[in-house]
Amino acid sequence: MAEDLYQKGIKKIQELTASDDENPTGFMDIGEGFKDIAPDLSKYVVEFAFGEIYSRPGLDNKQKVLTTITALVAQGKPQIEMHIKTGLTVGLKPEEIVGCIMHLIPYTGFPSVLNALKVAQEVFAEQGVSVPASDD
């Protein structure tokens, strides 16, 4: 039932944002700000993106967010900020997020990577997390 799919999507969003039942979508932008012009948008975001796709088997949440961040770096989309936050929430370590962005240098070139690191740096500062020094 569609109602169930919506609930399934909300539950997945709660996992990704560590949100409680009072503010079930947490910091996730599900498009509710567009109720006046596209009232069906948030339904598609919750049901399809989160209820269906983010709820598929195959990858765990960390892998799903890593995949999301990579796609957004490759496309230069501002939504990367929100998904760096979901990454930290599901337990990606800051060095994994940075590792993913840095790994893209040979595939997207330096400018995309520099632009994405800027966003990561701001989110890390805001959340008080840091990348540990590596011995490598």
Q: Is 18 in the site for a copy of itself (CB under 8 A)?
A: no
Instruction: Report d(CA 80, CA 73) in Å as an integer.
Output: 7
What distances in angstroms separate CA 116 from CA 27, 66, 119, one per listed residue?
19, 13, 5
Residue 74 CB neighbour total at 10 angstroms:
13
Most distant CA atoms of the chain, gap in Å: 53
Q: Is 46 in the site for a copy of itself (CB under 8 A)?
A: no
Q: Is 48 in the site for a copy of itself (CB under 8 A)?
A: yes
The region of 7-15, 19-27, 42-50 touching a copy of itself under the rule CB under 8 A is 42-50
Helix axes 110-127, 61-75, angle to 10 degrees: 130
Q: Is 72 in the site for a copy of itself (CB under 8 A)?
A: yes
Binding interface with a copy of itself (CB under 8 A):
1-2, 5, 29, 31, 33-34, 36-41, 44-45, 48-49, 52-59, 63-64, 66-68, 70-79, 94-96, 98-115, 117, 120-121, 124, 130-131, 133-134, 136
